[in-house]
């Protein structure tokens, strides 16, 4: 089945530094990928939608200059948290849209636990 590989699974960084999270589709081409943020015991909140070769579409309230998304190829999307602060500590998850005829679905990465100290 379609697999999305997300790295790193955990990262600890100092306040003010930037962190890059990668999301790769391993056996399919992902023209559309999504980035989510999840706080403890809460549901996933969509941050942005990225389409290969074009600018990402951000959800309301998400700072595009802080959360840089790049989807330069059909198999790789990256999320860079710039000038991270403790309030950016969260669980970040990527997802890829898979289409196969009429049916379609979404497969998720394993998530990245970001801790900013």
Q: Which residues bind other proteins (CB under 8 A)?
A: 6, 32, 34, 36, 41-46, 49, 91, 93, 95, 97, 103-111, 113
Q: Which residues contact 50 (CB under 8 A, 6 or more apart)?
A: 32, 33, 34, 35, 56, 57, 69, 70, 71, 77
CB of 102 to other proteins, least distance (A): 8
Residue closer to other proteins (CB basis): 8 or 106: 106
- Number of neighbouring beta carbons within 10 Å of residue 60: 4
CB of 3 to other proteins, least distance (A): 11
| Exposed e or buried b per residue across 29-38, where buried means at least 16 C-beta atoms within 10 angstroms of its C-beta | ebbbbbbbbe
Strand pairing of 112-116 and 10-13? parallel
Q: Which is nearer to other proteins, 66 or 113 (CB)?
A: 113
Q: How far is the CB of 43 from other proteins (least distance, A)?
A: 5
Nearer to other proteins among residue 31 and residue 82 (C-beta):
31
């Amino acid at each position: 089945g379609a697999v999305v590989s997300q790295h790193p699974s955990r990262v600890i960084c100092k306040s003010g530094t930037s962190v890059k999270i990668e999301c790769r589709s391993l056996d399919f081409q992902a023209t559309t990928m999504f980035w989510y943020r999840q706080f403890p015991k809460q549901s996933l909140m969509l941050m942005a939608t990225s389409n290969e070769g074009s600018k990402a579409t951000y959800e309301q309230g998400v700072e595009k200059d802080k959360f840089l998304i790049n989807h330069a190829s059909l198999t790789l999307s990256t999320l860079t948290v710039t000038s991270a602060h403790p309030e950016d500590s969260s669980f970040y998850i990527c997802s890829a849209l898979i289409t196969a005829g009429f049916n379609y679905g979404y497969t998720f990465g394993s998530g990245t636990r970001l801790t900013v100290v």
